[in-house]
Structure 1
Amino acid sequence: MKRFERITLDPKVMGGKPCIRGTRVTVGNIVSLLAAGHSEAEILKAYPYLEKEDIREALAYAAWRAEEMDVELEEAS
């Protein structure tokens, strides 16, 4: 597994979902906010205990996980 310093996985926190530095803020939450059009500045304002690097690493982790998953696609008819 690629090493991510700011992403933690703990079964006792958010059901084991990947979180930012042991907080209850999940990688999925950060990626969803960005996908919805929220800026990095808005996210940092909403979560003042996060840092810019946390957001970057959340994106890197999500991209890594997306590349690691095998998904079967239906053949085009």
Structure 2
Amino acid sequence: MSTSDLVWFKSSHSSGSEGDCVEVAVSWRKSSYSGSQGDNCVEVAACPGTVHVRDSKDPDGPHLAFGPAEWASFLAYAAEHA
């Protein structure tokens, strides 16, 4: 994977001045449960403390963000109802 494949976000711990900026990279990956035809694609990006989920057909659109406990609950619920 090259750095051009990553999505960069300014860290919330960075100051407002230009000199003290930290960026964090996120790499989106297609869920193994997504369709192979490209029509039902869910992508996930894991960061420390947060898991992001988006629809790959609209990468600039809204996405969900889960904390570790919420993500574990979501996965458990999805496994029970799959």
What TM-score bracket applies, with the shorter chain setting the length? Answer: under 0.3
Higher relative contact order at CA 8 Å, sep ≥6: structure 1 or structure 2? 1
Q: Which has more radius of gyration?
A: 2
In terms of fraction of residues, the more helix-rich structure is 1
In terms of fraction of residues, the more strand-rich structure is 2
Q: TM-score normalized by structure 1?
A: 0.24
Q: TM-score normalized by structure 2?
A: 0.23
